């Protein structure tokens, strides 16, 4: 079967890889560069912790597939440092993990955590930092013969038995051509990286903190493959939407708010940023995977998808094989979290 995958972020590459391994004739089209846009940056947080048992179970399944990718890469792509969650969502997320049968623990802040937390924390021992760039290199090398530069404007111009749209912010415009409505309001997001003031004996856990601050609704933090510490902070959507705010404005606001957060709450870090990445997620979108199909066009979208990438690739490939709609994951209207 001839299959065209539109978008070469981590989910598109995972889908193409799964399709090639199933014997399909695959072409991957990318308007800019593979692993750009929403897959930009070296790392992401992997976590079983979510606010819905179905998402927890899906993350557990995805973890096994990340291990398989690590075997292919010849080195770990997922760290063993674990992850913690703090703030008002601890109880609900712990309940979801319990319902899904996932190992977890609620208690005091674990030793080795950077900064300070308020109240109990949820420990997710299966979590950690993903080497997203390493996974991207692995898949790009495997898919080099089928990767093509090209911006898709009209789906009718594609000659394929099946089309898979995994185009990030470009998905909505293309999906609309076949009558599928995908949210199309975007916001600017900025993630900064900081140096540790001193070496650590162990890698600190990744951390999602839902405790609101003066300027930030929530924050997330994790190590990077380069040895820095990445921190993202979420400003209110009204201050980040692309239609009303320039990237430069959001970069300034984010830099001011996150560096102030570091100076006040994470003394282990030098508060001068050493790196920055930006992307355009969908405004107001939290955890969850949405899918649709119209004719031979399969569409997938959602928030915080990188951790699910190998699973989503397998499910989309299975949907193409089985001529059905890929399964969505999570409740239909889940505003649970912005933690990446």
Over residues 225-278, the pLDDT tens digits come to 999 999 999 999 899 999 999 999 999 999 999 999 999 999 999 999 999 999
Q: What's the CA gap between 227 and 191, in Å, rounded?
A: 15
**pLDDT, position 330:** 84
Segments of the chain assigned E as strands: 2-6, 25-30, 43-46, 83-86, 105-107, 121-124, 128-131, 147-149, 162-165, 189-194, 206-209, 218-223, 229-234, 275-279, 288-294, 297-303
Q: What is the DSSP string of 227-281?
A: S-EEEEEE--GGGTBTTTS-HHHHHHHHHHHHHHHHHHH-TTB-SS--EEEEE-P
**Residue 154 included in any domain:** yes
**Residue 199 included in any domain:** no
Q: Is 44 exposed, middle or buried (0-12, 13-18, 19+ CB in 10 A)?
A: buried
Q: What is the pTM of this model?
A: 0.95
pLDDT at 118 over 90: no
**Which tens digit of pLDDT belongs to each residue from 276-299?**
999 999 998 889 999 999 999 999
**Which tens digit of pLDDT belongs to each residue from 123-163?**
999 999 999 999 999 999 999 999 999 999 999 999 999 99
Q: What's the CA gap between 245 and 138, in Å, rounded?
A: 36
Q: How confident is residue 339, by pLDDT bands cut at 50, 70 and 90?
A: very low
More confident residue, 336 or 47: 47
**Residue 203 included in any domain:** no
**Helix, strand, or coil (residue 114):** coil
pLDDT at 177 over 80: yes
**pLDDT, position 332:** 60
Q: How confident is residue 333, by pLDDT bands cut at 50, 70 and 90?
A: very low
Domain, as residue range, for 136: 2-79+130-183+284-322
Q: How many domains does the chain have?
A: 1
> CATH number, domain at 171?
3.50.50.60
**Residue 195 included in any domain:** no
**Residue 273 included in any domain:** no
pLDDT at 90 over 90: yes
**Residue 120 included in any domain:** no
pLDDT at 165 over 60: yes
**Residue 216 included in any domain:** no
pLDDT at 334 over 60: no
**Residue 338 included in any domain:** no
């Amino acid at each position: 079967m001839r299959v065209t995958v539109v978008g070469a972020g981590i989910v598109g590459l995972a889908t193409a890889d799964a399709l090639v391994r199933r014997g399909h004739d695959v072409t991957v089209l990318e308007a800019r560069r593979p692993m750009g846009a929403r897959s930009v940056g070296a790392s992401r947080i992997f976590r079983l912790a979510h606010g819905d048992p179905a998402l927890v179970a899906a993350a557990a399944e995805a973890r096994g597939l990340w291990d398989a990718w690590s075997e292919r890469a010849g080195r770990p792509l997922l760290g063993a440092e674990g992850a913690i969650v703090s703030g008002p969502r601890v109880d609900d997320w712990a309940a979801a993990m319990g319902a899904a049968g996932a190992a977890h623990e609620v208690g005091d802040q674990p030793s080795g955590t950077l900064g300070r937390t308020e109240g109990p924390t949820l420990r997710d021992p299966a979590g950690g930092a993903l080497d997203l760039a390493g996974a991207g290199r692995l898949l790009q090398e495997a898919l080099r013969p089928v990767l093509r530069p090209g911006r898709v404007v009209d789906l009718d111009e594609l000659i394929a038995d099946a089309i898979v749209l995994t185009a990030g912010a470009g998905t909505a415009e293309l999906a609309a051509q076949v009558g599928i409505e995908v949210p199309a309001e975007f916001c600017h997001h900025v993630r900064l990286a900081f140096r540790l003031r001193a070496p650590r004996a162990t890698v600190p856990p990744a951390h999602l903190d839902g405790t609101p601050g003066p300027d930030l609704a929530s924050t997330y933090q994790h190590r990077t493959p380069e040895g820095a510490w990445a921190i993202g902070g979420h400003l209110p959507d009204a201050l980040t939407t692309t239609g009303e705010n320039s990237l430069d404005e959001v970069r300034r606001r984010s830099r001011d708010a996150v560096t102030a957060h570091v100076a006040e709450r994470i003394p282990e870090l030098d508060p001068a940023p050493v790196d920055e990445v930006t992307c355009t997620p969908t405004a107001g979108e939290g955890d969850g995977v949405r899918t649709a199909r119209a004719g031979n066009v399969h569409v997938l979208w959602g928030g915080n998808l990188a951790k699910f990438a190998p699973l989503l690739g397998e499910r989309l490939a299975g949907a193409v094989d089985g001529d059905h709609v890929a399964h969505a994951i999570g409740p239909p209207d889940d505003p649970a979290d912005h933690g990446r």
